[in-house]
Amino acid sequence: MENNNQNNQDNNKSKKPVRPGGLGNPNPNQPFNVYWIYAILSMGLIGMLFFGQNKTIKKVDWSDFQEYVNDNRIESIVVYSNKDIAEAKVRSESVNYVFGEDAARFKGNPFINVNIPSTQGASEFLDTVKKEKGYDIKVRFDTTSEIWGMLLTFAPFLLIIVFWIWMMRRMQGGPGGGGGGIFSVGKSKAQLFDKDAGVKYTFKDVAGLSEAKEEVQEIVEFLKHPGNYTNLGGKIPKGALLVGPPGTGKTLLAKAVAGEANVPFFSISGSDFVEMFVGVGASRVRDLFRQAKEKSPCIVFIDEIDAVGRARGKNANFGSNDERENTLNQLLTEMDGFGSNSGVIILAATNRVDILDKALLRAGRFDRQIYVELPDLNDRKEIFKVHLRPIKIDESVDVEFLARQTPGFSGADIANVCNEAALIAARNKKRFVEKEDFISAVDRIVGGLEKKNKIITQDEKKSIAIHEAGHATLSWFLEHANPLVKVTIVPRGKALGAAWYLPEERQITTKEQMLDEMCALLGGRAAEEVFIGQISSGAMNDLERVTKQAYGMITYLGMSDKMPNLSYYDSSGQDYTFQKPFSENTAELIDAEVKAMIAEQYERAKELLLKHAAGHNQLAQILLEKEIIYAENLEHVFGKRPWVSRSQEILQNKEKSKNVYDDPDPSLPPVPAE
């Protein structure tokens, strides 16, 4: 009984219903296409055109044909022996006589057709006329092929039919394609990286991101050994959201997860769901999950999910966002609806997690958020080692120095630095990439291209030298200022000069450290006022940074004397667009505190410059002569720096392989040796 029931069920499944009006279409989801009606009408019109051309050959009787031959009105004759038919071409001067009123119609194609009594009779008649009258009539005997004639007749129709079928298959997405629509507009654009083909990425290809790799390792274990978790009653997570700035390796990390798990990997961008046609985004979401279910267990990676997962109702824009919301609703349904998506894990990446819809972030959809932050010092060292593998480097290249020189750089930025250094070395005809090439690459990426041919007067050059020397002097005598690497007055990008520092990577920053940084930034403007007597527009960038830092210290960090311990920072990411969280009186107080803080540091900068005026002038003179100076030149002018920076200490003790953040406090007593 069970077998019979099973057979009946299979038979019922095999019989697909025919949709009414579908003209026997076995697929009810794809009804009869109206474009076939247009195709039939077009072929009918073309057929009428072609068949109408057959009337350009005039049919005549045998007696009339004999008259035309006797009167020398025929130029050439072709006799088809297998059909007893002759086709003759009329001389141009006899077209009016033969065709009469239709002469204008036949002037370009003056042919007549006649049924001959027999091939032998026609041959004897033509020989007699040519012999008696001496006419120059070309006579040829031939046979016709019916198949070839039919092919010549119907070849245009066959080509049109083939072309139309090809167009219909393209419009319907090909045989067995899901989604349908014109030119497969409703099909998913996800790129499939199958486990049996293509290059596999593993965690060895991902440098740094140690914390993030530990979290995604669990996803790999879910896919490899799901029974270890389901046996205990647990459920495999539906998805994980990778959050981090651009270029930090979110996509690469997702590919590594797929490579480690050895499962198919679907990759698609969030913008691929958005289309101008209504319902296309939801259709692509359905098609994506349909393909994923067929390939399960697998991973679906949606890059830049904020393009489709933006919070609903906040930016309605007069109803024009309905299509985006429909796409999001379909995505929410597919991720955690009534349907089962067992074996399909969703990975998504975004750098705008604050604007995502709350329904998308709840448990059961994206169960966890994995933060992929900018690499720290140790991570940058590992990333440099990965990108330096294919590059021929010199012994002078210090990976630790490069890592210290690139704070705030993402993995993509570091890859760009390595590539740019190789290009610079190749441009200079070098056999190996040296340390100077990497420094030039960092300068090129951060500051822009050198403009050595920029027209600058001697007075302007002197002003720039004094400005940059002011920055260098203050950074040397301020304890918490970033250590100087080099100073240049060569124009680069939009800047007429620049000072390069080795920034400190602090986990926390004190008020004194921030004030020292502000004072060093104001050193250029202060040097102009003290040593030139007038200020210029060259300090615009410095003033912008100082102003932003001052407002941040007062409004966000609560580092004001008159407004202590107050913070107006909104961690939700929603800026105060229409109203501020403080009153007008408080705003005036904030402005006054900012002005007082900047003025205090400006006066402090002028005092330090006046105290070290001789060294500053000497430094400016060296800049005018050499256009670039390094930290060694400052040590020669001012003497050894009173304070040993954290960066220098790490570089001097690089033989000690330890974490930079575990350095002992010099104020503490040393640990006794065992």
Amino acid at 138: K
Strand-pair category, 58-60 with 111-115: parallel
DSSP character string of 23-90? TT-S-TTS---THHHHHHHHHHHHHHHHHHHGGGSEEE-HHHHHHHHHTT-EEEEEEETTTTEEEEEE
Burial of 94 (0-12, 13-18, 19+ CB in 10 A): middle
Cβ atoms of 491 and 456 closer than 8 Å = yes
What CA–CA distance (Å, rounded) separates 522 from 303? 42
Task: Count the alpha carbons within 13 Å of 294 in the hemisphere toward its beta carbon.
Answer: 10
Cβ atoms of 461 and 508 closer than 8 Å = no
Cβ atoms of 546 and 598 closer than 8 Å = yes
What CA–CA distance (Å, rounded) separates 358 from 356? 6
CA terminus-to-terminus distance, the chain: 83
Q: What is the DSSP letter of 60?
A: E
Cis status of the peptide bond prior to 503, with omega within 30 of 0: no
Token pair of 589 as six digits:
């107080």
What CA–CA distance (Å, rounded) separates 345 from 33? 37
E strands, 469-616, where? 484-488, 498-501
Which residues are tagged catalytic? 468
Q: What is the DSSP letter of 212?
A: H
Other beta carbons less than 10 A from residue 96's beta carbon = 15
Any idea what the Cα angle at residue 509 is, between residues 642 and 664, rounded to 5°? Answer: 60
E strands, 48-135, where? 58-60, 74-80, 85-90, 111-115
Cβ atoms of 605 and 543 closer than 8 Å = no
Other beta carbons less than 10 A from residue 237's beta carbon = 18
Collect all residues with Cβ–Cβ distance below 8 Å to 216 and sequence separation of at least 6.
240, 253, 256, 257, 370
Any idea what the Cα angle at residue 543 is, between residues 541 and 548, rounded to 5°? Answer: 100
- Which residues are 191's β-sheet partners? 267
What CA–CA distance (Å, rounded) separates 663 from 10? 72
**Chain position carrying tokens 């006899």:** 94
Any idea what the Cα angle at residue 403 is, between residues 414 and 666, rounded to 5°? Answer: 160
What CA–CA distance (Å, rounded) separates 321 from 19? 34
Residue 515 backbone dihedrals phi, psi, to 5 degrees: -65, -35
